[in-house]
Every structure is written in structure tokens, then in C-alpha cells.
Amino acid sequence: MPGDLRGNRSTRSFEIPKLSVSSEPGFAPSHAPSIQDGQSLFVQVGCATCHTPSLTTGLASSAALSQKQVNLFSDLAVHHMGSQLADGVTQGSAGPDEFRTAPLWGVGQRIFFLHDGRTSDLLQAILAHGSQNSEAERVVDMFQSLSKSQKQDLLNFLRSL
């Protein structure tokens, strides 16, 4: 009906300014604050002690590689990760429960997580850090003490990487 259509149009014209809010590329506007909160929580609970947000490359003959900041989210070090992650494999000098911190750069695009790709669930990947004798046990306890929405913020942050 013509009357109804006009009604719809006038409602829509009010909604347009809300829909055209611009945002940084790649971030859904409604998720951006959650991602930022998640980033702070990532540092607060201690994930960043191993998943170091950025490292700087050394001097290199190619200017493109020399002294560049890389947002790797890894300290590139090997840690004891406890029995849940242990695979019984000794590689070089790394014992059965020792693993190099997986870089989280691009983790949002990955489908399987951890050294054996055992899970496609980010939350499970985090909880698997938490056995006794894992260097990350205390950090995972801190993560577990977050509220449901704080955990979701942290996951949203990881998915944005």
C-alpha cells in the first residue's frame, strides 16, 4: 500500500546514518570495543608473558627486514607446558612436555590449534595450557576466573589477529 511504503521509507531514512558508521578495515564496528578489552585482558592475565606481542628484527642487509617490528605474539622460547600438552616426543634438546610458544599472528585464520592440531576450538587450546607443572598454569587459572563476557572479549581479540 502506498501509505505503508511511505511509512517504511521515512523509517529507513532515519536508520541510514547509524548504518554508515565507518570503522577500521577488518573490524566489525560492534566488535571493536570487545577486541580492545580482550587485548587488555590478554596482557592482564599474563598470556603476553609468553605470547610477546611484538619483537623487533635485527640488522639485516635488506632494508625491508632490518629492525622491523613484527607482531608475532611469541617469545620464540621453549616452555614446559605440562602433561595435557605433552606428547612424549623428545626433539633435539626439547623434552616431551616442552614446546615453543606458538605465534598467535594469524591465529584467527587457522583451523587447527596446538602442535598436533588436536582441536579447532580456541577455548580448548587455551585450557590445554593449564595442567599442573605447566609454566602457564597460573595464567590459565587467571583466565578461568574471568567473567563469561571477558573470556569472550579475549577470544574475539585472538580471532582478530
Q: Which is nearer to ligand HEC, 12 or 115 (CB)?
A: 115
Indicate the residue among 129 and 160 with the shorter CB distance to ligand HEC.
Answer: 129
- Residue ranges of E strands in 28-159: 55-56, 69-70, 78-80, 98-100
Distance CA 41, CA 139 (A): 11
Q: Which helix (H) or strand (E) holds 42?
A: helix 32-45
Cβ distance to ligand HEC smaller for residue 7 or 117: 117
What's the min distance (Å) between Cβ of 148 and ligand HEC? 15
Residues found near ligand HEC in the complex (CB under 6 A): 45-47, 49-51, 79, 81, 85, 99, 101-102, 104, 107, 110, 113-115, 122, 125-126, 129, 135-136, 139-140, 143, 158
Tell me the Ramachandran region of residue 106: left when phi exceeds 0, alpha when psi lies from -120 to 50, beta otherwise: left
Q: Smaller CB distance to ligand HEC: residue 18 or 70?
A: 70
- In angstroms, give the least distance from the CB of 155 to ligand HEC: 8
Q: Rounded to whole angstroms, how far apart are CA atoms 55 and 73? A: 8
Shortest reach from residue 68's CB to ligand HEC, in Å: 22
Give me the least distance between CB of 152 and ligand HEC, in Å please.
12
Strands 98-100 and 55-56 turn out to be: unpaired
